Amino acid sequence: MIGIIGAMESEVNGLKAALQNMKTKTTASVEFCAGTLEGKDAVIAEAGVGKVNAAVTAQIMILEYGADAVINIGVAGGLESSLRIGDIVVADKVVEHDMDTTPFGDEPGFITGLERVYMECDERITKILADSAKELGAHTIVGTIASGDQFICRDDQREKLIGVFNAAAAEMEGAAIGHVCVMNGVRFGVLRAMSDCANDDSIVNFPEFEKSAAALSIEIVKRAVEKM
């Protein structure tokens, strides 16, 4: 079973529409849509924005639906210098950039219990996602995606994420899903289409480009699921 999680309606509706034999169930205020996508058993959910919503949704997918692979899709702010709106970042690892126990001598992003800063994405899923994006002609890079409960829209925030974590993109869910998957021993991948460049122009650019960027990520994931 492949679990697919997006934060917003625009990030998952196209996938729900493609599900065959769909059955829906609402748990913890989240609607889960299970069926067949590109010939594979899949469950899709709109988690809501932020790390807690994403984590709750991922855990339910794993426990109630037996998801043995989870893909997080959607939009993000680009940090890597070559990225433009509509480009793609596929994570090879994710980090919770707002996790901070540095007063105790830990590295920024260190997660007590998991004893790590970065959570590694599944190599095969990462390759499938990146190859699928490139096949659709998207400028695609593989790198670190940083997640936190903040919309990154200031140059000082942007520079911190680049300087501390060498992050290629910033969003609000991927690392939380990665955290849950690591705890459960489940493979995961994260794909993001750039809706803005995580800078002072983001408040203007995000509403304009969010839907088109989300639509691209949906097409990539449909192609990727077929290969899994």
For residues 172 and 195, the answer to whether their CB atoms sit within 8 Å is no
Catalytic residue among 9, 11, 31, 200: 11
> Tell me, what amino acid is at 74?
G
For residues 92 and 192, the answer to whether their CB atoms sit within 8 Å is no
For residues 5 and 58, the answer to whether their CB atoms sit within 8 Å is yes
For residues 112 and 183, the answer to whether their CB atoms sit within 8 Å is no
- Strands 2-6, 40-46: parallel, antiparallel or unpaired by DSSP? parallel
* Catalytic residue list contains 196: yes
Name the β-bridge partners of 36.
Answer: 20, 41
- Strands 118-120, 140-147: parallel, antiparallel or unpaired by DSSP? unpaired
Catalytic residue among 87, 171, 196, 210: 196
Of 72, 80, 17, the residue nearest 50 (C-alpha): 72
Name the β-bridge partners of 27.
Answer: 30
Give the catalytic positions in this structure: 11, 196
